[in-house]
Structure 1
Amino acid sequence: MKTETNNLSNANMARRAFLRYAGASTAVAGIVAMQACSKDNSAYEDVGGGDSATIDVGSGDPGILNYAYALEQLEAAFYIQVVNSFSADFTTEEKLLLTDIRDHEVAHREFFKAALGSGAIKGLTPDFSKIDFSSRTSVLATAKAFEDLGVTAYDGVASKIQNNDYLVIAGKIVSVEARHAAVISNLITPGSFVDSDQVDSNGLNITMGPTKVVATANLFLKTKISAKSFNF
């Protein structure tokens, strides 16, 4: 019953957070219209069956949004499990920070799901068997990996986004993801929020292409994703 209550609370919170994206309504309408007008949705069909299927996110702007949606699904699922089973070695402040991050990630996930409408890829099944949720060290190391992956992934495809409205949304979301990455890094090692593994000597964030991002994300997914339709 407690888990069901938590899930319902998460869903209600996500819907409220989604409404706060009202300033992006033009972009949402554009995505929905694009999907309604599309006659070829093959890019969003499963390849294979069951949890072992590989799902290609598609091409163009909708494909990039589905790519982001896949990553947000992974992050949201991770933080929901973290918050639902905090280990004893987390401080009260750390629990509050991780709960805030969960709320952001769920809001991002719900935003992309609603915006993409019928063009959204299906819900992905995570595989967190390699994560020890009873260990603060394991949880924070995974959180860092996911947050760093998210920031480098958004930065790696931003130049390929054609619609300026979508680019603005992506910029707003990746800004929040970067805040998460800095907080998590500092929880692990105080003062490490701009370490060279993420920020180069010019003060610019490191980027990562879809091939490497997908390979990393798939380590934590039963339902595998592909970005082969990107062609870049």
Structure 2
Amino acid sequence: MNRKSKEPSFGEELAQSQVSRRKFLHFSGLAGVSVLAIGSMTGIQGCKKDDTTNNNDGINLGSGDVGILNYAYALEQLEAAFYTQVIQSQYSGITAAETSYLTDIRDHEIAHREFFKTALGTKAIQALEVDFSSINFGTRASVLATAKAFEDLGVSAYNGAGKLLTDANYLLVAGKIVSVEARHAALIRELLSPNSFAANDVVDANGLDKARTPGEVLSIAGTYLKSKLNASNLPTS
């Protein structure tokens, strides 16, 4: 008896890619609970097959939870590309300790990027083109100042996007990733200026980190991207 073929659901695609994704989950601290949570997902409502197409308005991130995950994926692509360049063209006077720290951060960001790419499967946006022409990779001051800006931006992005996720499993994973991003931010700040890891420009009087909306984040990140992103379908509340 012939059966009609049907397109696998988003959850089925995630389950099918479980093995290839495991090494990224383990490396980036997303193993255990996250494997179980993501592997058990049954799909996401509200994201059509052509939600993430590329047109004159830019690369459409999509809608619903898929859109937010693509938004995070875009930011992780940017950070991974930056730290890869930092290690490939190390600045003058870089110490062995700084090389080790920045290499670890690079590897974390690559793991985060690959996690989102594999998890999203066919719903992932394309690889983005970056524009780092404003960064002087030959000087410590330029590299660390940019790293500080990227890490602070990343933390505020996850903080602002958390409330937009509808699936608690996704929120769990986002929480695990943002905690790593916050460690990065604290380290970079200490390299630049001791005792600035939780300065009042990022942590308020209530001990809470800054949060930014996707629109605010992409406006800043766009400076470093050749690819244009379209976030018009992202949830706002």
For the aligned pair, the TM-score class normalised by the smaller chain equals: 0.7 to 0.9
Describe the superposition over 1:112-131 as per-residue Cα deviations: whole angstroms up to 9, x where unpaired. Answer: 00000000000001110110
Alpha-carbon contact 1:154-1:174 (below 8 Å) kept? yes
Taking only the aligned residue pairs, the percentage that are identical comes to 51
Alpha-carbon contact 2:47-2:63 (below 8 Å) kept? no
Answer with 1 or 2: which has the greater Rg. 2
| Alignment-mate amino acid for residue 156 of structure 1 | G
More deviation, 70-79/16-25: 16-25
Alpha-carbon contact 1:140-1:184 (below 8 Å) kept? yes
| Alignment-mate amino acid for residue 218 of structure 1 | G
Q: CA deviation at 1:16?
A: 3.2
Describe the superposition over 1:81-124 as per-residue Cα deviations: whole angstroms up to 9, x where unpaired. Answer: 00111112211111110000001000000000000000000000
- Measure, in 1, the Cα distance between the counterparts of 2:31 and 2:78: 24
| Alignment-mate amino acid for residue 71 of structure 1 | L
- Measure, in 2, the Cα distance between the counterparts of 1:22 and 1:98: 23
Instruction: Establish whether residue 43 from structure 1 lines up as the match of residue 51 from structure 2.
Output: yes
Describe the superposition over 1:133-174 as per-residue Cα deviations: whole angstroms up to 9, x where unpaired. Answer: 001100001001100010000000101111111111000000
- What is the aligned partner in structure 2 of residue 6 from structure 1? none
- Measure, in 1, the Cα distance between the counterparts of 2:50 and 2:26: 30
Alpha-carbon contact 2:83-2:102 (below 8 Å) kept? yes
- Measure, in 1, the Cα distance between the counterparts of 2:176 and 2:23: 18
- What is the aligned partner in structure 2 of residue 100 from structure 1? 104
Q: CA deviation at 1:230?
A: 1.6
- Measure, in 2, the Cα distance between the counterparts of 1:221 and 1:230: 19
How does 1:75-94 map onto structure 2 within 5 Å? 75-94=79-98
Q: What's the C-alpha RMSD, in Å, of the aligned pairs?
A: 1.9
Q: Give me the TM-score of the superposition, normalised by structure 1.
A: 0.86
- Measure, in 2, the Cα distance between the counterparts of 1:38 and 1:194: 38
Q: Give me the TM-score of the superposition, normalised by structure 2.
A: 0.84
DSSP-derived class of the 2:135 partner: coil
- What is the aligned partner in structure 2 of residue 18 from structure 1? 25
How does 1:124-203 map onto structure 2 within 5 Å? 124-203=128-207
Alpha-carbon contact 1:15-1:110 (below 8 Å) kept? no
Q: Structure 2 unaligned segments of length 5 or more: list them.
A: 1-20
Alpha-carbon contact 2:53-2:60 (below 8 Å) kept? yes
Q: CA deviation at 1:39?
A: 7.8
Q: CA deviation at 1:22?
A: 3.9
- Measure, in 2, the Cα distance between the counterparts of 1:155 and 1:39: 23
DSSP-derived class of the 2:43 partner: helix
Alpha-carbon contact 1:182-1:194 (below 8 Å) kept? yes
Q: CA deviation at 1:175?
A: 0.1
- Measure, in 1, the Cα distance between the counterparts of 2:230 and 2:39: 26
- Measure, in 2, the Cα distance between the counterparts of 1:147 and 1:168: 20
- What is the aligned partner in structure 1 of residue 16 from structure 2? none
Alpha-carbon contact 2:46-2:63 (below 8 Å) kept? no
Distance 1:210 1:39, change over 3 A: closer
| Alignment-mate amino acid for residue 99 of structure 2 | K
Describe the superposition over 1:11-61 as per-residue Cα deviations: whole angstroms up to 9, x where unpaired. Answer: xxx973335544222443356x537x988222200023xxxx711211111
